[in-house]
Amino acid sequence: MELNTIKHADGAKHAKRRVGRGIGSGLGKTAGRGHKGQKSRSGGYHKVGFEGGQMPMQRRLPKRGFKSHLLKFNAEVTLTALEALGAETVDLLTLKQAGLVGQLAKVVKIIKTGELTKSVKLTGIGATAAAKLAIEAAGGSLS
């Protein structure tokens, strides 16, 4: 192998399409831009969503609702998940290590989905009214 014999891999390089070079090229005259109109002219284009001056779709439709930026810090855990976890004392760190809540979670709430038979002591974790009753009925506590 010599330096002057090194070539690019097949297909790595391809010739740039040269438009506007005569009728035989297939891209002569209008160079694939069609006839007249804004899109055929140099510098003639528009923003995304522009509808030729007509009120654009994103402005015709009403604004509705929002998504809270704080949602990523909140998490929910079900009674079924607590049952499967099988720990006697549960706090935020335990839930994060078990992968039941995301690493960004700061506020965790237990919701009543499923049943709980084991006694579980919760520290620094909230619960819905129904979940609280279920936890206390199983012999657990919240603090």
Instruction: Give the length of the chain.
Output: 143
Strands 107-111 and 74-78: parallel
Helices (H), 22-101: 57-60, 79-85, 92-98
pLDDT digits (tens, 9 = 90+) for 60-74: 999 999 999 989 999
Looking at residue 143, its pLDDT comes to: 87
Count of CB atoms situated within 10 Å of the CB of 124: 12
Domains, the chain, with CATH or none: 71-142 (3.100.10.10)
pLDDT value, residue 65: 94
Predicted confidence at residue 86, as pLDDT, reads 87
pLDDT block averages, 10 residues each, the chain of length 143? 94 93 93 93 91 94 93 95 93 95 96 94 96 95 91
Q: Which of 90, 88, 138 is nearest to 117 (CA)?
A: 138
Tell me, what's the pLDDT at 1? 84
